[in-house]
């Protein structure tokens, strides 16, 4: 197998585990901590995308016998990355919903204060 592909594969697997943990932990925090986690996850997803592209280029440059095996692995990693992206959307959309809710509550409080005055 290609040592270059294996290097990218190792990096991707470590990054995938790390992103999965961050998605899980982002669900249990809020406020600035959640924003920070979401930012870290977004950067990690971008890195994972880049690694997938590099693995794809490397696999396609190899002999047909190796290429088929590596492209099959790559399909699994692409599925994994899509699952991570879905989890990220779920976690980050919850953050957007909370921010919108807080904003509406603040507006409601401002309206209530105007009525009282």
Is the confidence at residue 45, as pLDDT, over 70?
yes
Tens-digit pLDDT profile for residues 61-109? 999 999 999 999 999 999 999 999 999 998 888 655 566 666 666 666 6
pLDDT bin (cut points 50, 70, 90) of residue 26 is: confident
- What residues make up the domain containing 52? 3-116
Is the confidence at residue 114, as pLDDT, over 70?
no
**Percent of the chain residues topping a pLDDT of 70:** 79
- Give the 3-state secondary structure of the chain: CCHHHHHHHHHHHHHHHHHHHHHHHHCCCCCHHHHHHHHHHHHHHHHHHHHHHHHHHHHHCCCHHHHHHHHHHHHHHHHHHHHHHHHHHHHHHHHHHHHHHHHHHHHHHHHHHHHHC
- Which pTM does this prediction carry? 0.78
Total domain count, the chain: 1
87: CATH: 1.20.58.400
């Amino acid at each position: 197998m290609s040592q270059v592909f294996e290097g990218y594969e190792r990096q991707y697997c470590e990054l995938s585990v790390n992103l999965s943990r961050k998605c899980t932990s982002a669900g249990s925090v809020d406020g600035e901590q959640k924003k920070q986690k979401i930012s870290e996850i977004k950067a990690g997803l971008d890195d994972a995308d880049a690694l997938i592209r590099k693995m794809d280029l490397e696999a396609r440059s190899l002999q047909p016998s190796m290429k088929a095996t590596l492209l099959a692995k790559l399909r699994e990693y692409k599925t994994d990355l899509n699952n991570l992206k879905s989890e990220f959307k779920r976690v980050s959309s919850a953050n957007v919903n909370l921010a919108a809710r807080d904003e509406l509550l603040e507006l409601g409080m401002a309206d209530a204060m105007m009525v009282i005055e």
